[in-house]
Amino acid sequence: MLAAVLKAPHCLEIEDRDEPEDIPAGFVRVAMKSVGICGSDVHYYQEGRIADFVVRQPMVLGHESAGIINGVGPDVSLKVGQVVALEPGIPCGHCQYCRTGVYNLCPYVRFFATPPVDGALQQFLLHPAAFAFPADDLSPDEACLAEPLSVGVYAVRQAAIGLGHEVLVIGAGPVGLATAFAAESQGALVGLIDINPERLRVAHQAGFEAAFSSHEAKQFDVVFECTGTQAGIRGAQSRVRTGGTIALIGMGQSATMPLDSLDIIVRGIRVVGVFRYANTYPSALALIRRYHERLKIFQANRISLGELPHFLATEQYGHHIKTIVSLN
Ligand SMILES: [Zn+2]
Ligand SMILES: [Zn+2]
C-alpha cells in the first residue's frame, strides 16, 4: 500500500509499505478514501516541527480523514463496508484528564501526524473502533470534514454559545469557518473578519457575513480568535463586550499574549483556551448533514496521493480553503 511519508523538511515521498493484516480486538481496518490537508501538515512539511513537536523519524502526514471499513477485529459492532470518520487522537483512557472527559488534554494522547505518530495519508490503517464514527449517509469527502468541524464544535461549547448571541470570528480560514458554522447552529448571529480578500470571498460563498478587519466600534458577546496573531488577539479584546467571552483557538507565535489583564478584570471578561476537542464527532457529523450544501466550499479542490508531493513543493496550499487528497 502507498503512504505519504515526510522524510525531512521539504521531502515528502510516496512510499510502498506493508498493509496491516492482523486486526486486534476492538480495532477496525479502514481503506482510507479522503484526507484533508491541514495547516499543521504544511507546517511539518516546511519546518519539520511545530513548537516542541519535532519530526525526528519518517512520519506519515494527515489527520482529517475518512474511509470505508474493510476488516473488523473481535468485539467490534461496526461492519465491513461502512463509511467512517476517524477521530485522530487516541487518548490513554486512564489519566485524570481522560477520566474527567477532557481527553483532548491527555498528555499521553497519540494523535495522527504529530511526531512520532503516523498519520492518515496511507491506503489502509488500523484504528480503534471507538474512535471510528459511522457516516453511511455521507461521502468520505464529506465525512473527513468532521475533524476540522470538531474544532469549531468544541470551541462553541467551551464558549457556551447560545441563541441570539452576537459572535465575531477573527480569521476566516478553515478553523474560523468551522467555528462560524458551529456557532450559527447554536442560534448565534455570526460575522467573520479577515484581511485576506480571497478568504472573505469564500466566507461569503459559504453564506456568512464577512468583512475586512477594521476598527469598528461594535462589540460582541463572544469573540473567537482564530489567527494566533498579536493583532488578532488585541482585536479580540477590543471587540468583546463587557462581561463577554474571548475564545483563543488560533495557534501562532505565542509566548507573550498582548492581553490587557486589568481590562479583563474590570470588564469581567472570560478568556478560554481551546485545544483540539473531545466528544465532538457525533455533533460534527450532524453539522455536516445540516450544512451539506454550504460545506461544499471545503470540497472544491481534490488531488490524488501521487499529486501531493508536487502540491506541497509548489506551495499551492494557500490558494485553496481546503484540499482533500483521494486515496484508494
Ligand atoms: Zn487539521
Ligand atoms: Zn489520558
Over residues 255-284, mean pLDDT: 93
| Helical spans, DSSP H, in the chain | 39-47, 96-99, 140-143, 146-158, 174-185, 197-205, 230-239, 261-266, 281-290, 308-313
Which residue, among 35, 47, 38, 37, has the nearest Cα to 11 in the 3D structure? 47
Q: Where are the domains of the chain?
A: 2-144+293-326, 151-273
Second-level CATH architecture of 2-144+293-326? Alpha-Beta Complex (3.90)
- The pLDDT of residue 184 is 98
Q: 148 C-alpha vs ligand 1 centroid, how far in Å?
A: 5
* pTM of the full structure: 0.95
pLDDT digits (tens, 9 = 90+) for 145-199: 999 999 999 999 999 999 999 999 999 999 999 999 999 999 999 999 999 999 9
pLDDT at 256 over 80: no
Q: Which residue has the higher pLDDT, 215 or 3?
A: 3
pLDDT-derived band at 52, boundaries 50, 70, 90: confident
- Which residues are in the CB-under-5-Å shell of ion ligand 2? 91-92, 95, 98, 106
Q: Measured in angstroms, how far is the CA atom of residue 112 from the centroid of ligand 1?
A: 10
Identify the pLDDT of residue 254.
61
- The fold of 151-273 is Rossmann fold (3.40.50)
Contact indicator for 237, 263 with CB cutoff of 8 Å: yes
**How far apart are the CA of 75 and the centre of ligand 2, in A?**
23
Task: Tell me the pLDDT tens digit for each residue of 120-145.
Answer: 999 999 999 999 999 999 999 999 99
